[in-house]
A and B are shown apart, each in its own frame.
Chain A
Amino acid sequence: MTGFLVRRILGALVILLIISAVTFYLFYAIPRDPARAFCGKICRPETLTLIRHNLGMDEPLFVQYWHWLVGIFAGRDFVQFGACPAPCLGYSFATQEPVFGAIVDRFPVTLSLTIGASAVILSFGILTGMLAAWKVGQPLDKIASASSVVGASLQIYFVGPLLAFYLVDTAGLLPRPSYVAFTEDPLGWFTHLLLPWVVLSIIFTANYTRMTRSQMVEQLAEDYVRTARAKGMSSRSVFFRFAWRGAMIPIITIFGVDLATLLGGAIITEQTFSLHGIGELAVRAVQNTDLPMLLGVTIVGAAAIVVLNIVVDVLYAVIDPRVRIG
């Protein structure tokens, strides 16, 4: 297991290196001079040259990339912004704040959003899927299947404001979504994020209902499930202990792939509910062509997906002993 983890982490680092290099090159190849952003209204050519130097942009691209890379581990000193201690992802061109700090600051929001939504997706999606599989062909199954089609065709920016209007504004059942630190007020954290979780998970949940149902039906026809029944295991135990585990393996695989999409959904959800998360940061970075921030968000996003995929792999090993590689 340790060897497996070490190998996966090394592989992940290589992937991140490649992503960062490609992203760096792509972003910095944009025919736009970020130095203009730091130049006063009447921008003198000599000021522009000075700023380019201050930002380290007067050097060849690969040298800039190298500095960026070194900065992550050793920190950097920018004339324009001052010292940037490691891990340094540079300073935002738009807000002049350290990129790493900005991301760390907003990370809990997006993490809470993603984890909460994942919990809703997995618990609710799997639960309804299993109920449907339990009662294959019966009304419950048909309702679950039909609602999964409806759910999958809904959009966050449509459902979000709609639910907010009914649940928050009209009924007052939930507080207006915002981020409350979990460490300060766990209950507040939960109630304030519940609506975003539900909205973000709606389109995914349906899919998981459908997948769980078909996987369960498939697993229930497996030989080992028949064996379990032949042993006298109760239907419930056969269903939940034996078939369930088999069904979870493809679900986890798909979930690993969906994580990236989920992060994408988190961006839209943050916009919909004015949550100050990584998504909002990313959207603003794009709007402002804020290269260091864009690069930082991209790398952190990629790292998050890579890490979560390692977690998924570990989860795999926990559920399926066959993939426990030494």
Chain B
Amino acid sequence: MRSHSRRYASVTAVLAIGALALAGCAKGGGGGAPDTAAGGSQKPLENKAVSAIAVGTADDSKGPAPEIPGAKSGGTVYMIDRDDFSHLDPGRVYLNYNSSVSELFTRRLTAYKHDDSGNIKLVGDLATDAGTTTDGGKTWKFTLKDGVKWEDGTPITSGDIKYSFERLFADFITEGPDYAESWLVPDAKKPFRDQYKGPYDGKELDTIETPDDKTVVFHLNGLHPDFNFTVAMTGYGAVPKAHDTKQKYDKQPFSAGPYKIVSHVTDKSLDLERNPNWDKNTDSIRHAYPDKFHMEFGVQAQQTTERFLADTGNDKNAFTFHNAVAAERVQEVLGNAEAMKRSVQGLTPFTTFYNINTKRIPDVNVRKAIITAWPAKQIQQIEGGEINTGKIATTVMSPTVLGYEPFDLYGKLKKPEGDPDAAKQLLQQAGKVNQTLVYAYNQTPTQEKITVAIKEALTKAGFNVVAKPLNPATYYDAIGPVDNKYDVYWGGWAADWPTGSTAIQPQFDGRLITDNSPNYTHLNDPAINDAIDKANAITDAAAAGKAWAAIDRQIMEQAAIVPEYYQTYFGLYGSGLGGVKMDPIEGEQSALDIWVK
């Protein structure tokens, strides 16, 4: 599920974008309104849990992808967006935006298959199925499909897969995920690069076995029953040993998918054309209808909205991966029945929340009082209402995570404007009336307004709020240290794959607390740590989902965060395209099913 912004490959920067006036994702991801009078044609805000995530079978993994009725091959599809892709080397890809384009020329062991009813299945991409484990997730075996080839026609072998994982240890590959790396070395507790330095000095990683050209076996240093989800990340895409240009690979990757890169002018354009050595019979998720893609960058959300509404020339055959409808034009688009036919909307994996520093606020009743008093509705109004922000959240996990259960421990949906009386009671119980609370925020005009609302609501509940403005450029550097001097500060998160292990563990496992780690609440609850370990060991996906939902509830009982929004995406595309869909894993438009009418 990647992180949801695109400036830098680090989620810290990612979050900073959201934090900047809550603009980047929060604003851009505005979704349709369920109940406004803006127009009759819009669909209600899609906020349903993606409970239908399952591990598919070998049959599900077989190509070709099922035909879309009415779809046809050929033509050029245009893509217009604000930013160029910051990384194309799979090992260095983390952002959803980079992943979306990477799908067109990078293949991994596993991938997600969506059906029309919104079900998501984990299937084999290069592998014949979603992988098998016989020992609860410590040893994983994948078998490669017949007929999978690189763009030069040579077959993709198990050796290539092994090599693709080995090179992730190289010193220049720092931007991508490193779950697998730390699981593939002997000691998970020690830095993985101290234990293996990558393949460039000729050494191999002996925890990956290739008994034959088709078979890869991973020996992990612990139980990871969802490792097959891990390797579905673009970050674990395949790179051919024979064509690995190291740092330069980031600009010109070698294709295994249906398209290859013809030209890439940084920040301006990217052109893709068909890779003749891709065989659709080996691929169950990519339709690859168009002959070509032409992608153009440097187009702001206002401009893409404008161009999609105008719907002229090549823009008729254009979509956008990431640009959402510009916030100021959302109402207009909702009222435009014709444009709404060319819109996609849906929930992204991205959630936002306010961290409560549990080290500085150790009393759980005080933390509960903060949540209870929180002016969620006022904040949402300042940011332009539900259309622009998404729905008010009440849990840690997003509805897009397997096992998500809705609950509302603090009555935030009933009293979204905050309940100062109930909060005051909690403070009195704790004997902490007039408790001082240091609220750190990004100094932007919107955030200033939000801070006033927060201060007012919490003061009413008996807090003494001290607001600390922070420079948006260094926001995460300020809140990163474990011994920071702030009590409450904004944050955001998106799971790397749709299970609780990446939605919850990095943020709330108390044993992972270090400076700048994602555990910004510094929550270290033995019961929760223990529950995390147990959930991690459950091999049945559905059962694991239940366990993670229970941990979600535990965390909310500990009142470690004030959930803010489940973000939605709302975007447009040109009238000449069919098959433009929302990708719930990446939280933006998907290129895989697109065809030119």
Contacts and interface: CB of A to CB of B under 8 A. Distances in A.
Bound together? yes
A45 B174 contact: no
Interface string A60-95: 000000000000000000111111000000000111
A94 B516 contact: no
Q: Which 10 A-B pairs have the closest CB atoms?
A: A82-B247, A41-B11, A37-B8, A46-B191, A97-B266, A32-B474, A39-B10, A38-B174, A51-B174, A42-B506
A41 B87 CA distance: 14
Contacts of B250: 96
B451 interface: no
A30 B265 CA distance: 30
Contact of A276 (B174, B177, B298, B514): B298
24 contacts: A30-B474, A31-B477, A36-B10, A37-B10, A38-B9, A39-B12, A40-B9, A40-B94, A41-B11, A41-B177, A41-B496, A41-B518, A42-B177, A43-B12, A43-B516, A43-B517, A47-B174, A54-B174, A80-B172, A81-B247, A82-B172, A97-B266, A102-B266, A274-B300
Interface string B86-100: 110000001000000
Contact of A94 (B8, B12, B300, B506): B8
Contacts of B298: 274, 276, 280
Nearest to B246: A82
Interface in B153-188: 171-172, 174-178
Contacts of A96: 86-87, 250-251
Interface centre among B8, B191, B300, B514 (most CB of A within 10 A): B8
A97 B267 CA distance: 10
B7 interface: yes
Contacts of B86: 94-96
Contacts of A37: 7-10, 13
A247 to B, nearest CB: 42
Given A41-B14, A50-B171, A79-B172, 12 more contacts: A37-B7, A37-B8, A38-B9, A41-B12, A41-B177, A42-B177, A51-B174, A82-B246, A93-B8, A95-B86, A274-B299, A276-B267
Contacts of A42: 11, 177-178, 506, 517-518
B174 to A, nearest CB: 5
B175 A40 contact: yes
Interface centre among B11, B14, B265 (most CB of A within 10 A): B11
B47 to A, nearest CB: 25
Interface of A: 30-33, 36-48, 50-51, 54, 78-83, 93-97, 102, 105, 274, 276, 280-281, 284, 288-289
Contacts of A274: 298-300, 303
Contacts of B175: 38-40
B178 A40 contact: yes
Contacts of B84: 95
Contacts of A43: 10, 12, 516-517
A31 B475 CA distance: 10
A36 B299 contact: no
Given A46-B191, A95-B267, A102-B266, A39 B174 contact: yes
Contacts of A82: 172, 246-248
B178 A47 contact: yes
A276 B300 CA distance: 13
B268 interface: yes
B515 interface: yes
B3 interface: yes
Contacts of A289: 473
Interface of B: 3, 7-14, 84, 86-87, 94, 171-172, 174-178, 191, 193-194, 246-248, 250-251, 265-268, 298-300, 303, 473-474, 476-477, 496, 506, 514-518
A95 B266 contact: yes
Interface centre among A33, A37, A48 (most CB of B within 10 A): A37
Nearest to A106: B267
Contacts of B516: 36, 43, 45, 48
Main secondary structure of the interface of B (DSSP, over half): loop
A44 B191 contact: yes
Contacts of A38: 8-10, 174-175
Contacts of B476: 36
Main secondary structure of the interface of A (DSSP, over half): loop
Contacts of A78: 247
Given A82-B247, A274-B303, A280-B298, A36 B174 contact: no
A282 to B, nearest CB: 13
Given A40-B175, A97-B266, A45 B473 contact: no
A90 to B, nearest CB: 14
B188 to A, nearest CB: 12
B174 A40 contact: yes
Contact of B7 (A83, A94, A105, A276): A94
A32 B266 contact: no
Nearest to A280: B298
Contacts of A39: 9-10, 12, 174-175
A36 B13 contact: yes
Contacts of B300: 274
A37 B15 CA distance: 12
A54 B172 contact: yes
Contacts of A276: 267-268, 298
A319 to B, nearest CB: 40
A33 B299 CA distance: 28
Given A54-B172, A280-B298, A45 B514 contact: yes
A176 to B, nearest CB: 11
Given A80-B172, A80-B247, A95-B266, A46 B514 contact: no
B357 to A, nearest CB: 19
B398 to A, nearest CB: 16
Nearest to A281: B267
A40 B178 CA distance: 8
Contacts of A45: 514-516
A45 B178 CA distance: 13
A31 B87 CA distance: 26
B308 to A, nearest CB: 16
A81 B518 CA distance: 26
B10 A41 contact: yes
A274 B177 CA distance: 34
Contacts of B246: 82
Contact of B474 (A31, A40, A44): A31
A50 B181 CA distance: 15
Contacts of A280: 298
